[in-house]
Structure 1
Amino acid sequence: MTLDITTLRVAFGAVAVTLFVLFYTVSFRQTRSAYSAWWCAAIAFFFTGSTGYLLDGTVHQVWANPLSNTLLVMGTVSVWAGARTLRTSKPAWLQLSAAPLLTLLASVVDPPATNTWSGGPVFLGMMSLTIGLASWELWRLPSSYSRVEAPLAVASALVSVLYFVRCIAFIAEGQNGYVFTTYVGSGVTTLITLVLLVVVSFSAAALSAEQIATDLRARADRDALTGLLNRSGFLDLAALHTDRLARAGRPGALILADLDFFKAVNDTYGHAAGDAVLRAFAEASTETVRSTDLVGRYGGEEFIFLLPGASAARSEDIARDVSMALQGRRAPDGFDMPTVSYGIAALDALDYDLDATIAAADQALYAAKASGRDKAVRAIRPAGTTGGSSAEPPHGSVRTP
């Protein structure tokens, strides 16, 4: 039996419906991940778009053909948007709507009542572009993902190349050209896409589960109140950064910061005000440090910084800038933001031991508190020793002008 294009489209629709039901019930309802939601949307668009072509040759072709072109492009755009949620975030709505709107416009102005390939070059070009972008996003996934995305990336790339070849052949020969009809016609493309859709759905389900696992890992490393790294998350990343500094022989600095008289804020203005102060300090810190620096909430009102490549003097400047940024924020109920005390310890050739450096910074912080607060104190480590430290006299106040 010869499978004509109508039979293939019916088969494609049946497979798409089956995959949608399975993916929705097994993947999306269990994970609720953004990726699985976009993949469900993609399958739905592919199904409705392919079904619309069944109206070709009828009086409904005038609206069904442009709509089908647009829906299929919306399907590939959904694949791209889903891939972006795995790495960064979804594109803006303008980016999502550009390709479908261009396809719709081209299909409407190219008499769809008499031309089943209305807007053909634009439709084929947008399909190639958007699915190619999805493949590119999948290849750029961070190392935290396993390589389950590889089949999906390869399949997306193959479909992108296929539509690119179709676009070139269509422009060169037209819809009735030999190369276009024989090698990259609708029947061949529908069959290939049908097979790839089944194959990549398994990878899509695995990626959806990995997205949830990655999100959970990220949440486990973050402090819920401030959004900073929590203690364990900071220490894990700081250990990696310290190892890199040691291998490269580069210096660094570690700062422990403690909000002065923070208990008085909670006792006087309530815990909601205290929480607002902690968030304000977190914001002041992240706005001040570089993107390569680490900032974490060490516990309670105590915070910790790791500054790769920074000297002790530069660390004092950063502490002063953080305090100034904090004082520039409005506190709830109009009270003054608390001052901050800092203990600074160097990471250098004398000692790259993270635990010892934290202990040294803690002793320096204690000295800053004992000598009047609202200042930064550097730790001094005896030469040739590891772990032992003392504190220099305060190197000036970090009070804001």
Structure 2
Amino acid sequence: MTLDTTTLRVAFGFVALTLLVLFYFVSFRTSRSAYCGWWCAALALFLAGSAAYLLDGTSQQVWANPLGSTLLVTGACSVWAGTRVLRGLRFSRTLFAGAPAVTALAAVLDDPADNAWAGGGPFLALMALMVGLASRELWLVRPTSTELLRRELTFSPSVRALALMSGGFSVFYTLRTVVFLWVGPDGELFDRYFGSQVATLVTTVLLAAVSFGMTSLSYERETEELRTRATRDGLTGLLNRAEFMRQAGAEWRSRHHGGAHGSLILADLDHFKAVNDTYGHPAGDNALQTFASVCRGIVRSSDLVGRYGGEEFIIFLPDLPVERAELIVGRISARLRETATPNGMPFPTVSYGIAPASAASDLDDAIERADRALYEAKASGRDRVILSDGEGPVTG
């Protein structure tokens, strides 16, 4: 038994409606993420476009078919916009509005009252283009610099699966376009392999698969967000104190088991209270964020940087002796002096205490010695580096 196009479109409508309701209440209502919102919009547009096509072959097709094509292309545009948002990028409003406008104009000018495929060429080509662009965006999804620092996101398998599925759909619509322009909508090749029945089945399967993938992606992002809140400082994006101690402790035990050495640094922004009192708390927050950003730009990816509390920061440099650590904090202070600040505020100087990390000590002991060295740096005039040996601080 062969299902007719109308039956398939009705089935597609029920699937789209079911997915829209489930995805809205299960994913979007809990996450409120922008890309989930765009996918909900896409599902609604696909549903409305399919409903408009049900009037094909009636006296209403003169407006229903152009409307259906326009809604479907707008849905594809929504998918693309959602993928741009997923990458943390803006999307072109001109392209978003232009693609549906071209679809509508092409259909209206192609005798839609008598031609069921009015504007078919531009419609198919734009569907292939927009879904292809969405596939490209998904394939290019990588953690942005902000996410790397604040969320530690990884390249999700769900994203790659979504990229492959949408890429396959784009290829299908590209072939539809080529065959449509080659043999026309009444050609046997087009009708058998790329006609409305086949396209409806393919789109139904795609919607179900993509909705499942989007749900998985939404869950992964929620999990990452919860992990971020538990391990990262909300203002600077650095490791919070508890997470720094956990990671540094594990690193300490791992490296020192083999006799490796390193350095531990405590840094404190000088006269920070005066910054808040004179220039306001936003300026103080900016100073903390700037210091964190400079540290991240100078230390190695294998080093650990955390906000220890207030205006105090902590850095663990595995395998680097205190002499190298002193050079690094010198580079940090030099970079800070070159940094522009809002409202002409002079950037606060920084005092540092550095302690060696060796197999003969543990993390808490190194922190205590670095703290004593930092105290001496503050007491002896600030804006300086004090090195600590294994017994007590000595001036570097």
Which residue in the other structure is 1:279 paired with? 286
Which residue in the other structure is 1:315 paired with? 328
Root-mean-square deviation (Å)? 4.1
Going from structure 1 to structure 2, the CA distance change for 1:161 and 1:273 (only over 3 Å counts) comes to same
Going from structure 1 to structure 2, the CA distance change for 1:43 and 1:178 (only over 3 Å counts) comes to same
2:176 maps to a residue whose letter is R
Deviation, 1:29, is 2.0
Q: Is the 8 A contact 1:259 1:340 kept in 2?
A: yes
Which residue in the other structure is 1:126 paired with? 126
CA distance in 1, matches of 2:252, 2:79: 39
CA distance in 1, matches of 2:392, 2:181: 77
> Equivalences for 1:2-401 in 2 at 5 Å?
2-58=2-58, 60-86=60-86, 88-89=87-88, 91-94=89-92, 97-98=94-95, 101-109=98-106, 111-114=109-112, 115-138=115-138, 140=141, 144=154, 147-148=157-158, 152-235=162-245, 255-262=265-272, 269=277, 273=280, 276-287=283-294, 289-290=296-297, 295-305=305-315, 311-312=324-325, 314-324=327-337, 328-330=341-343, 338-344=348-354, 358=367, 361-380=370-389, 388=390, 390-394=392-396
Q: Deviations over 1:312-351 (max 9, x none)?
A: 35413323235425784448xx8x664321224578x999
CA distance in 2, matches of 1:243, 1:80: 47
SS of residue in 1 equivalent to 2:207:
helix
CA distance in 2, matches of 1:199, 1:44: 16
SS of residue in 2 equivalent to 1:290:
helix
Deviation, 1:141, is 6.0
CA distance in 2, matches of 1:10, 1:231: 57
CA distance in 2, matches of 1:62, 1:285: 61
2:15 maps to a residue whose letter is V
2:48 maps to a residue whose letter is T
Going from structure 1 to structure 2, the CA distance change for 1:156 and 1:328 (only over 3 Å counts) comes to closer
CA distance in 2, matches of 1:250, 1:285: 27
Going from structure 1 to structure 2, the CA distance change for 1:243 and 1:56 (only over 3 Å counts) comes to farther
SS of residue in 2 equivalent to 1:104:
helix
Deviation, 1:253, is 6.3
Going from structure 1 to structure 2, the CA distance change for 1:73 and 1:343 (only over 3 Å counts) comes to farther
- Give unpaired runs (5+ residues) of structure 2: 144-152
**Identity rate of aligned residues, in percent?**
47
Deviation, 1:187, is 0.9
Deviation, 1:207, is 2.1
How does the TM-score come out when normalised to structure 2?
A: 0.76
- Give unpaired runs (5+ residues) of structure 1: 381-387, 395-401
2:7 maps to a residue whose letter is T
